[in-house]
Chain A
Amino acid sequence: MDQMSDVTAGKKIQDVPLLDRFPFPFTGDSYRYSNNSRALIPPVCIDITPEYEEEVIEKRRLLELYPERTYQSLPHTLAAQWEILDMLMNELSHIYPDYFSMDKRGDRYTFRNYLLNEEQTFKYGDLSTLPCEPLDFIGRHVQEDLIYLQQRDGDLYMDAGQLCFPANWSLAFDLGMSYLQFHSPVPIYSDSGLAEKVLRFLMRIEAGKPWTRLNWTINVGKRLDTSPETFGEWGRGKLALNEENVGHQVHLRTEDQRLFRISGSNGILFSIHTHLLPLEVLVENRSWAERFYRVLEDIPDPIAEYKGFITFKPLMIQYLQKYVKA
């Protein structure tokens, strides 16, 4: 990756207050697992937020320090990886022309990232012309985690991925698993028949008709990397919560997940853009505070336990209650 010599670099992303752009995941006062996917309109995979530079730099730091944890691929996914790279570079240069551009001359590509002042020329399909595998390369220019699910044998297999900001799951462990296998730790979802239903839905996703859904969990601390590998570091934060710091420390964590058919390889690109919102900011929106309060009051214990907040759920409810109308 070369530094650009011209002066077009250093574009600024427009700052929008977090509360105005945070994807609040609840549409009702109760939360249960469901197939809450909806058609993605417009069909755009990548979202650029004001945290872009900070998060992409953090991704790259983790990728350099912990390559096995953050990037995995099986050899047969290379063709799909090139397809994904092509698709995302096209999208970035068309949707965000101020931030990215791509020149194609035959199989010779030049990709420019004006936000980071970088330029890369490579030959499409020739691995030796990129500094890393295609999925890894394009993942280093976006905030999203990118997971590739290969469709074969009537199932979806997690055969490649760049995962820097996991919500307590391990790509190194889950690589190669089928859809039902990598969802097996999710209570209710995995043993109620819902996972099979969603799998059937995913396998029918058509090219050019992507889907999206929001998933959520709770974070203690402003930390995107909540990998199981580092639970020893971030898990302790739960033990230090109290009435004074809960509003500042506890974050609602939303994953904006998008699903695209990769037609040439017949797989699915699953992107995850993670957003964090501290409770103390969330409560500035009273209707969100009320709704979140009711969701927490109603949530079944197995879900709260799986999402890792059952021990401090009462503390969150107590904090939110102050913002709920009598």
Chain B
Amino acid sequence: MVKTTYHILQSGTLMSRFFYIHAEIIQGELEKTTGRVHGFEINGIWLDHPATFVRLSGGPGQHVRLYTDLQACSEPETLLLRETKSGTVRFNSPSQTVTVHENKHRYLLLTDQTGILQSLPLLVALGRQGRLTEVYYFQDHDRESPNAFGKFVKSLSYPFHRIRELEESSFSRLLRKQTVDVQLLIVCDWDKYSRLLRLSRNLGYANEDIEGYFTGEKEERVFCARCYKIQKKLAEPEMTCRHCGTSLSVSKHYSPRIEAYLGYVSL
């Protein structure tokens, strides 16, 4: 695993929830423009929290901005971060990256509360490249307030749409009316990510039209061959469909469209 080391130039908080570090590379090379890393080391102290980054310039003297979510940090960790104004930051090769395809002309960023940390570097990268972008934010419940994120998006002069529920038929209409030069950038929790991926693939979006990754845990699922209902995959290969009561033998045959393994009927 390649480790890159940076000299901290500046740090601060963003939207009162996220901490950012602006730094210049002193060792290694960061190949990808944006992505996520599992933890980072700041002045010799390892913080085991996800962080996202955006590479601001290439070649020698690369500048990078690193973001982490203070809500995931303990009080001493938050204090440490807030007091860090200089020194070094190090992190490993990214675990996930997002590629913004240059042959596209418009970008739809589809995200939710869990995807804000991942969206920040993406929006900065798109903004620096002057890409036409729209943000669709899925709000899980009424108490949730994405105002700060909305303001951040608008500060980049990007339209910000708040969607209260991922209603597939209306979202299909939105995706269907897009032109071929659009790229979907999806960073949401597993449930929304898999539904959006399925929806867009069903509408003919090719692999190169879709980029992104899901946040949090992936729930493995089983498709019942008899009733077509989907349910959570259990540890055992044999299970009973909780919808139709059929005994199922769970196979390794996996559908990326349905995001589930096929459960064969067993006698």
Contact = CB atoms under 8 A, between A and B. Distances in A.
A76 B246 contact: no
Nearest to B253: A185
Given A173-B258, A176-B257, A181-B256, A232 B246 contact: yes
Nearest to A68: B228
Given A173-B262, A229-B226, A231-B225, A75 B255 contact: no
The 5 closest A-B pairs by CB, nearest first: A76-B204, A176-B257, A231-B265, A228-B225, A185-B253
A177 B228 CA distance: 17
A232 B224 CA distance: 13
A174 B256 CA distance: 9
B264 A239 contact: no
A239 B266 CA distance: 13
Interface residues of B, number: 24
B265 A75 contact: no
B19 interface: no
Contact of A184 (B203, B226, B228, B253): B253
Interface string B244-267: 001000011111111000101101
Consensus secondary structure, chain B interface: mixed
B226 A232 contact: yes
A236 interface: yes
Interface string A86-111: 00000000000000000000000000
Contact of B262 (A74, A76, A170, A232): A170
A153 B264 CA distance: 30
Nearest to B204: A76
Given A153-B208, A184-B252, A172 B265 contact: no
Interface in A50-93: 68, 74-76
Given A175-B257, A181-B256, A185-B253, A231 B202 contact: no
Contact of B202 (A74, A177, A235): A74
Contacts of B226: 229, 232
Nearest to B226: A229
Interface residues of A, number: 23
Contact of B264 (A75, A76, A231, A236): A231
Nearest to A231: B265
Given A170-B225, A181-B256, A231-B265, 12 more contacts: A74-B204, A75-B203, A152-B206, A176-B202, A176-B256, A177-B255, A185-B251, A185-B252, A228-B264, A231-B264, A232-B246, A235-B265
Contacts of B265: 228-229, 231-232, 235
A181 B256 CA distance: 9
Interface of B: 201-204, 206-208, 223, 225-226, 228, 246, 251-258, 262, 264-265, 267
Nearest to A181: B256
B256 A177 contact: yes
Contacts of A181: 254-256
A184 B202 CA distance: 21
A242 B157 CA distance: 76
A265 B132 CA distance: 30
A172 B230 CA distance: 13
Nearest to B260: A173
Contacts of A68: 228
Contacts of A185: 251-253
A75 B173 CA distance: 13
Interface string A102-131: 000000000000000000000000000000
20 contacts: A74-B203, A74-B204, A76-B203, A153-B206, A153-B207, A170-B225, A172-B228, A175-B257, A176-B202, A176-B255, A181-B254, A184-B254, A228-B225, A228-B262, A229-B226, A229-B265, A231-B267, A232-B226, A235-B267, A239-B267
